[in-house]
Amino acid sequence: MEDRIRIIEVKILSDDWSILKKTTLEIRRQDGSWQTVNRETYDRGNGATILLFNREQKTVLLTRQFRFPAFVNGCEDGMLIEACAGLLEKDDPESAIRRETEEETGYHLGPVTKLFAAYMSPGSVTEKVHFFAGPIYPGTTEKHGWRCYRPR
């Protein structure tokens, strides 16, 4: 990559909730010439998410959470329906999703399956999210605004 990309300068524009950087870099084009570009990247850390499901009841467990970016982009109340998720912080992906599931739902997970990892918005956000699926069982109760949804 060093033969294609040269970092010229990195400026931190904000270091509040997350880090916003402006980077000036040079990219080697196919004809061998160098092009100078500026890019802003938003770094909030990597995350993990899990689709909690109940196979017998044919339901998944989701939550509604307020998301300010959705609110300012036209979502009337800013509330989005989401799968349980959170930042890795200092944990590995599986440990992080177990921690987040317990914190957000009160449920302890049995075996989980890692499905894949993906960059969520690689044009400007550095975050890579690790996706999991895991079963929940009958007899669990709603907590923290979580609801069961039956896929159609």
Residues in the chain: 152
Give the residue numbers spanning the domain of 11: 5-43
Residue 24 one-letter amino acid: T
Cα distances (angstroms) measured from residue 14 to each of 18, 37, 42, 146: 8, 20, 9, 33
Please check whether residues 133 and 112 belong to one and the same domain.
Answer: yes
Please check whether residues 30 and 51 belong to one and the same domain.
Answer: no
> What's the pLDDT at 63?
84
Split at pLDDT 50, 70, 90, the class of 122 is very high
What mean pLDDT is reported for the chain?
A: 89
Please check whether residues 57 and 97 belong to one and the same domain.
Answer: yes
Please check whether residues 104 and 142 belong to one and the same domain.
Answer: yes
Given a cut of 90, is residue 67 above it in pLDDT? yes
Please check whether residues 85 and 141 belong to one and the same domain.
Answer: yes
Please check whether residues 52 and 39 belong to one and the same domain.
Answer: no
> What's the pLDDT at 143?
52
Residue 74 one-letter amino acid: G
Q: What is the CATH number of the domain that holds 140?
A: 3.90.79.10
Please check whether residues 23 and 89 belong to one and the same domain.
Answer: no
Split at pLDDT 50, 70, 90, the class of 64 is confident
> What's the pLDDT at 116?
98
Number of domains making up the chain: 2
Three-state secondary structure call for residue 94? helix
Query: Percent of the chain having pLDDT more than 70?
Result: 88
Note whether 130 and 48 are within 8 A (CB). Answer: yes
